[in-house]
């Protein structure tokens, strides 16, 4: 793999760890968490 692409993937990995911790990246779980927060887009 190209070094620039490996570097990009590594930076994405680090950002995901910072934002999501060690939880699994499951769309269903992430959507449930998103629904629990108040919807600030509705007016």
pLDDT digits (tens, 9 = 90+) for 20-35: 787 776 777 767 766 6
Render 1-43 in DSSP notation, one character per residue: --HHHHHHHHHHHHHHHHHHTTS---HHHHHHHHHHS--TT--
pLDDT, residue 1, reads 67
pLDDT tier at 38 (50, 70, 90 boundaries)?
Answer: low
In a domain, 29, yes or no: yes
- Give me the domain span that covers residue 8: 3-36
Residue 40 sits at the vertex; the CA angle it makes with 15 and 35, to the nearest 5 degrees, is 65
The answer to whether residue 41 is domain-embedded is no
CA nearest 16: which of 6, 29, 25, 8? 25
* Residue 42: inside a domain: no
**Residue 10 counted as domain residue:** yes
Confidence band for 8, pLDDT divided at 50, 70 and 90: very high
Distance of CA 10 to the CA centre of its chain: 14
pLDDT of 7 > 70? The answer is yes
Q: What is the pLDDT of residue 19?
A: 84
Let me know if residue 11 belongs to a domain: yes
pTM above 0.95, yes or no: no
């Amino acid at each position: 793999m190209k070094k620039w692409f490996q570097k990009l993937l590594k930076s994405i990995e680090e950002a995901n760890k910072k934002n999501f911790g060690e939880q699994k990246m499951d769309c269903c779980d992430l959507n449930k968490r998103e629904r629990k927060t108040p919807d600030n887009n509705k007016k």
